[in-house]
Structure 1
Amino acid sequence: MSNSNHHGMHSFEGKNVLCSLHSFSDESFGRFGRMFKDLPPLYNAPSSLSGLGKVAGPMDGGNTAKFTNSVPLGMVFFGQFIDHDITFDTTTSFSSINHPNEILNSRSAELDLDSVFGGGPEDDPFLYAPRSEGFFLLTGKSNNNLGQNKQTEAHDLQRNGKETAIIGDPRNDENRVISQMQLAFIRFYNANYKELKDAHPNYSPEKVYEEARKITTWHYQWVVVNEFLPIMCGKYLVEDILGNGRKYYQPKKSAFIPVEFSVAAFRFGHTMIAQNLKLQSDGASHSIFSPEFGQGFSRITSSKQAVEWDALFDYDNNFQKAEKLDTTLAPILLNLPFVPSTNPDDKSLATRNFRRGQSFLLPSGENVARCLNREEAEILQVTDFVHNKVSPHNVDLSAGIPLWFYILADAEVIGRQDSDTQFSQGEGLGPVGGRIVAEVLIGLLELDRNSYLGNNRGWTPTLGSNGTFKMRNLMEVAATAADL
């Protein structure tokens, strides 16, 4: 299994043109661009980046997990799912990260679930049932996956004879949670398709598909805006953006993915994954790279690999919580077991993130914070914390703090803004990371004429209850989908 298949390991060939200074002259390249074009790039010595991300270094969280009070673990994986929906580079060579070759982001840079639907039944018919049966998305059950019993087949994606998942985005098979989240969205669509098909027998399969896809996509977008973003960025900040508009993510032409978002801010989830996790409420804990949990890209072979969603999302306030959003990672992420290199820098997810950020000429966290008009006293509080944390490890960040690390420190020291005066440390992104993430995701929706925010801002969910729709509701609807 190639290490490039894992989340966080993918190359950035598609936006490598942004690794050179001339990229500051244009708004975007291949659907990627810069949010802070007027800020200078930061340069830290490679030895400092290695020191930051090394085993037993300042980012090593040790073996004692520190959990949040409020964040469902499933929301971290949902963030991964969102990331796969809006960005995808088709090349996979990490070694060519600085090659100045422009290749388009093959995702649409829209929250439109093309990672689930692909190009639709006409362009990607292998994802769908025949027209005569109705354009349902196929699953492991409908595909009669080779060698699986009925119980495991019901929890799996459709696969070919080599066990490769036949889905719109191959990355959504990298671990058991993300693969079954992909399956849940497939089943959520199938449930919507079946209801429409039964209610409107005169509709053509194409019309049912379009309507069911819209229902599925708009409910997904609703969850992003009304559940995911408030949890991760703070309800106060989200309401400010929705009420007073975006101030910093303002594309002059079409929507694009800022590298400050994709290479730094939206990598916050790496700190929120514990070394050992549960897939089932009463099940055993498993390493994130165990066969039960993390060794994806293969068929499900045991009921122990089946996800119970009430263990990961808020059904009854008894969900599994994510680790705190701070400046530490689970030790295994600093020594990735599937990376064949003997170079410790290659095996550290943190160091790889820092190297990427530097390759893409990201500005320092302090400069971004100033650009966002954060108070100097707040910036000093974060920078003092960082320098005190790294100085015992002889890491020199005197030139500036890498944006990703500043965003993590901002979350740890300042915290998620829950009201005008209340901040929750470690519970979500701080003012800098939260502003970037929330403005970009809301902006992508507002600039998309097919989204609910870009098409019908008065829309409310037709599923759920009383205008409320959350991941719990989505999973409950998905569970009602009939096996094909």
Structure 2
Amino acid sequence: MNNNHGQHSFYGKNMLCTLKSYQIESIGRFGRMFREVSPLYINPLELNKLGAPGGPMEGTSPAQLTSDVPLGMIFFGQFIDHDITFDTQSNFSSINNPLQIENTRTANLDLDCIFGGGPEDEPFLYDKPNGRGLYLLTGKSNQNQGQAAKLEKHDLPRTGTETAIIGDPRNDENRVISQFQLAMIRFYNANYDAIKNADPHKSAVEIYEEARELVMYHYQWIVVNEFLPLLCGSKIVGDILGSGRKFYKPCNQPFIPIEFSVAAYRFGHSMINQALKLQPSGPVHSIFSPQFGRGFEKIKNEAQVIHWETLFDFDGTYQRAEKLDTKLAAILLDLPFIQSANPADRSLATRNLRRGQSFLLPSGETIAECMQRDTAEINDIKNLIRNLAQTHDINLDSGTPLWFYILAEAEEIGRIDSAGSKPGEGLGPVGATIVAETIIGLLEMDEASYLGSNRDWSPTLGTNGVFTMKDLLNMANTAIDL
């Protein structure tokens, strides 16, 4: 850590006083949604207590579950995050300037984690254009070293050291995200095959371009019409689509706001179950067990193959996500893979809180006031927070970290649909607005997306203009085994 307090002192003062240095976004960098708001500072020892095992954020056992949020949708949210953000530079030990942090993913929902740079840029992801065609490769086509032939079609293509050959290495970090990456590959292959069979005179490149757009549009449709209403509420999503964005307003080009990436979009950490099943009749696994959570290795037996009806709504028997509230599964407050003698380093909650402070995020109350939320509503949420903090002798008198405020808001108000609010079932108004405006804004500002290029488009797959995650996964299962 640099202890030379004189270095860059004038630059630091500018940031802390006005944050004007964040006014204009740079291509390929992060940015701010609320540029005129002063940051919150909390004593790090108080943050440590807030996120500590046994503290106010440790969840109960048995877990409190939502009524209608499939657990698979939380992992789908992780997939979306990997599609639009990748920060490899920020750290906890210094102030992070969003304009200096490179986003190594495009700020578009363009599935570059699936397609990479395309067959010309990354041909190793694809079959031969002059052979079978530009299908995406799987474990079977790769003939993964040391893997049983019957398991290859259920796995990603891998090197001899078991590294997945995919557009984003993070999509192999647990079994669900790895299998969903494969499902998206198979969904593309099924559409490529259908287009190829419908018109065998089209070139491989023509089929690829058509299939890629079809897959991308249907994926984006699910994000806007299934994922966002489920987690942000149909009322807020409908208001944004109907009346426009009020807070996510890039100056030049789309960017990822840190209020989204460092705070609001980390809501899923509260909804992940400590134990889950991969198959309806299979055993329950810890999220950090070798069967489920170790990641970055090939499938070794059929018990590791995901049956999607276990995680998504096929027939109503799916596993529900945990409630969205101020609690995290106990195992997330003592991460087994973090090698540190400091307990604060091993708590996912504390790491989120420290990260928010390092990015100079404002308090949750301040953001709520900027959004002109009702004073009585803000006071109700602050009372919940105050009661939690006082019970554990935590001082949050100067304000509430934005991430924790958003979790408390979800616990107090929750998802707002046409029938009213549903505490614990999704994000409250501040969190939902940040998440939904950002994702919808990224689509609206992308000339290659359906919202940015053809707002009259509706799904051609599915039934009568309705296309769901169930439809996508069912079609993925029909793909030829490559």
Q: Choose the corresponding residue for 1:27, options 17, 24, 27.
A: 24
State the one-letter code of the partner of 2:212.
Answer: R
Match of 1:82 in 2: 80
Q: Which amino acid aligns with 2:133?
A: G
**Matching residue of 1:9:** none
Which amino acid in the other structure matches residue 208 of structure 1? Answer: I
Measure how far apart 1:131 and its partner are.
1.4
C-alpha displacement of 1:207: 1.0
Name the counterpart of 2:125.
Answer: 127
Which residue of structure 2 lines up, in the alignment, with residue 51 of structure 1?
A: 49
Q: Residue 63 of structure 1 contacts residue 275 of structure 1 at CA under 8 Å; is this kept in 2? A: no
Amino acid in structure 1 at the alignment position of 2:375: E
CA–CA distance in 2 between the matches of 1:368 and 1:162? 47
Corresponding position: 1:255 with 2:254: yes
CA contact (8 A) 2:96 2:358 kept: no
> Which residue in 2 is equivalent to 1:169?
168
- Residue number among 467, 470, 473 corresponding to 2:471 in the alignment: 473
> What is the CA-CA distance between 1:149 and the residue it aligns to?
1.3
Taking the TM superposition and a 5 Å limit, the aligned residue runs for 1:30-179 are 30-91=28-89, 94=91, 98=95, 102-132=100-130, 133-179=132-178
Q: Offset of 1:348 from its aligned partner?
A: 0.2
**CA deviation string 1:152-192 (max 9, x = no partner):** 22211000010000000000000000000000000000111
- Which is further off, 423-432 or 126-135? 126-135
SS at match of 1:280: coil
1:358 alignment partner in structure 2: 357
Q: Deviations over 1:205-240 (max 9, x none)?
A: 111111100000000000000000000000111111
Q: How does 1:53-452 map to 2 (within 5 A)?
A: 53-91=51-89, 94=91, 98=95, 102-132=100-130, 133-419=132-418, 422-452=420-450
Q: For the residues of structure 2 that align with 1:97 and 1:74, how far apart are their CA atoms?
A: 35
- Shift of the 36–246 alpha-carbon distance from structure 1 to 2, 3 Å rule, reads same
How many angstroms apart in 2 are the aligned matches of 1:158 and 1:75?
24
C-alpha distance in structure 2 between counterparts of 1:173 and 1:83, whole Å: 14
2:92 touches 2:354 (CA, 8 Å); kept in 1?
no
Partner of 2:461: 463
Residue 285 (structure 1) shift = 0.8
**2-side partners of 1:97 and 1:467: how far apart?**
49
Could you tell me how far 1:95 is from its partner in structure 2?
A: 6.3
| Normalised TM-score (structure 1) | 0.94
Q: Secondary structure at the match of 2:68?
A: strand
Aligned to 1:4: none
C-alpha separation in 2, matches of 1:108 and 1:206:
22
Secondary structure, in 3 states, of the residue corresponding to 1:322? strand
CA distance, structure 2, for counterparts of residue 46 and residue 95 of structure 1: 11
Equivalent-residue separation in structure 2 for 1:81 and 1:338 (angstroms): 21
**Partner secondary structure for residue 122 of structure 1:** coil
Please say if residues 312 and 319 of structure 1, whose CA atoms lie closer than 8 Å, have aligned partners that are also in contact: yes
Question: How far apart are the structure 2 equivalents of 1:319 and 1:118?
Answer: 32
> Unaligned 5+ residue runs, structure 2?
1-11
Structure 2: distance between partners of 1:63 and 1:333: 14
- Residues in 2 aligned to 1:361 and 1:443: alpha-carbon distance in whole angstroms: 23
Please tell me the residue identity of whatever aligns with 1:394. Answer: D
Preserved contact between residue 116 and residue 167 of structure 1 (Cα < 8 Å): yes
**Alpha-carbon spacing, 1:99–1:441, altered in 2? closer, same or farther (3 Å):** closer
- 1-structure distance, mates of 2:153, 2:175: 13
| Contact 2:176–2:306 under 8 Å retained in 1 | yes
Give the 3-state SS of the residue equivalent to 2:183 in structure 1: helix
One-letter identity of the residue aligned with 2:452: G
| Matched residue, 1:10 | none
CA contact (8 A) 2:93 2:358 kept: no
The whole-number CA distance in structure 2 between the counterparts of 1:62 and 1:307 is 27
Q: Could you tell me whether the CA contact under 8 Å between 1:31 and 1:109 is conserved in 2? A: no
8 Å contact 1:140–1:155 — kept in the other structure?
yes
Aligned 8 A contact 1:141 1:483 in 2: yes
Q: How far off its partner does 1:28 sit?
A: 2.1
Per-residue CA deviation, residues 297-341 of structure 1 (Å, 9 max, x unaligned), is 000101111101011111111111000000000010000000011
Other structure's SS at 2:41 match:
coil
Q: How many aligned positions are there? A: 465
Q: Could you tell me how far apart the structure 2 residues matched to 1:351 and 1:481 are?
A: 43
CA RMSD of aligned residues (A): 1.6
How big is each residue's C-alpha offset from its partner over 1:456-478, in whole Å with a ceiling of 9 and x where there is no partner? 11111011001111110000010
Offset, 1:450: 0.6
